[in-house]
């Protein structure tokens, strides 16, 4: 509803924004901080299980070597890719630049 109001009338919108907040009454919690250690532990363990422990459980057969290669390669590639992504966002140098409409609704929507 807020999104469909295009651009600018401040008075019109200030009525809306002020009407939004008290009308709901339920106090919303502030956004929780994301830890860095927890995802690292979880995903390292997950891909470690697949890549290091998994090969021990592959049944003997003609394809054992290929399956082990596949498990290890998958674990390495996917873990590395995830790790790069989280490391790139660990210490941002700049933040996102948002349009004022976006700010208006995300401010209250993502609380």
Partner 1 sequence: MGSMFRSEEVVLVQLFLPTSAAYTCVSQLGELGLVEFRDLNASVSAFQRRFVGDVRRCEELEKTFLFLQEEVRRAGQVLSRPEGRLPAPPPRDLLRIQEETDRLAQELRDVRGNQQSLQVQLQQLRLHAAVLGQGHSPPLAATHADGPSERIPLLQPPGGPHQDLRVNFVAGAVEPSKAAALERLLWRACRGFLIASFRETERQLEDPVTGEPSTWMTFLISYWGEQIGQKIRKITDCFHCHIFPYAEHEEGRLGALQQVLGETERFLSQVLARVQQLLPPWQVQIRKMKAVYLALNQCSVSATHKCLIAEGWCAARDLPTLRQALQDGSSEAGVSAVVHRIPCRDMPPTLIRTNCFTASFQGIVDAYGVGRYQEVNPAPYTIITFPFLFAVMFGDVGHGLLMFLFALAMVLTENRPAVKSAQNEIWQTFFIGRYLLLLMGLFSVYTGFIYNECFSRATAIFSSGWSVAAMATQSDWSDAFLAQHPLLALDPNVSGVFLGPYPFGIDPIWSLAVNHLSFLNSFKMKMSVILGVTHMTFGVVLGVFNHVHFGQWHRLLLETLPELVFLLGLFGYLVFLIVYKWLQDYAARAASAPSILIHFINMFLFSRSPTNQPLFHGQEAVQSALVILALVTVPVLLLGTPLFLHWRHRSRSQRGPAGRQPDEDKSGILDSSDASVAGWGPDEEKAGCPEDGEEAEFVLSEVLMHQAIHTIEFCLGCISNTASYLRLWALSLAHAQLSEVLWAMVMRSGLGLGRKLGVAAVALVPIFAAFAVLTVAILLVMEGLSAFLHALRLHWVEFQNKFYSGTGYKLSPFTFASEED
Give the footprint of partner 1 on this chain (CB under 8 A): 8-10, 13-14, 17, 30-36, 38-39, 62-66, 69-70, 73-74, 77-78, 80-82, 84-100, 102-104, 106-108, 110-111
Q: Which is nearer to partner 1, 53 or 80 (CB)?
A: 80
Contact yes or no for 108/22 (Cβ under 8 A): no
Q: How far is the CB of 43 from partner 1 (least distance, A)?
A: 8
Contact yes or no for 30/111 (Cβ under 8 A): yes
Tokens of 86: 């989280």
Q: What one-character DSSP code corresponds to residue 56? A: G
């Amino acid at each position: 509803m807020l999104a469909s109001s295009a651009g600018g009338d401040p008075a019109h919108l200030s009525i809306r924004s002020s009407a939004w907040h008290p009308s709901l009454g339920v106090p919303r919690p502030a956004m929780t901080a994301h830890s860095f250690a927890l995802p690292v532990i979880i995903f390292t363990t997950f891909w470690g299980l697949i890549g290091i422990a998994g090969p021990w459980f592959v049944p003997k057969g003609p394809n054992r070597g290929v399956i082990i290669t596949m498990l290890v390669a998958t674990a390495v590639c996917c873990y590395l890719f995830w790790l790069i992504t989280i490391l790139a966002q660990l210490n941002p140098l700049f933040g996102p630049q948002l349009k004022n409409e976006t700010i208006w609704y995300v401010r209250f929507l993502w609380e």
